[in-house]
Amino acid sequence: KVKDAQNDLQKLQRECEEMRSKFHDEQIKSAAKISELESKLRNADTTTVLTRLLPSATLENRLKEEE
């Protein structure tokens, strides 16, 4: 029984280490994606942001102004 318990413990330790490694990899990927998005946002000019994020609002305002 002791040998079985030791084997189970070693198996669980390996699984834990694999999960820790995968989690670390995902953290790195997420951090890289966040940096990429922050960079894009910093580099986007106001006009680009407004025309991409608020096209319907901009169109509505133009239509109201023309009336």
The pLDDT assigned to 30 comes to 95
Neighbours of 50 (CB within 10 A): 13
Q: What is the SS3 assignment for 8-60? A: HHHHHHHHHHHHHHHHHHHHHHHHHHHHHHHHHHHHCCHHHHHHHHCHHHHHH
The pLDDT assigned to 21 comes to 97
Count of positions (residues) in the chain: 67
Q: Note the pLDDT tens digit of each residue in 4-53.
A: 999 999 999 999 999 999 999 999 999 999 999 888 888 877 766 666 66
pTM confidence score: 0.53
* Domain edges within the chain: 2-66
> Is the pLDDT assigned to residue 61 strictly greater than 80?
no
Looking at per-residue confidence, does 64 or 20 come out higher?
20
User: 63: part of which helix (H) or strand (E)?
Assistant: helix 55-66
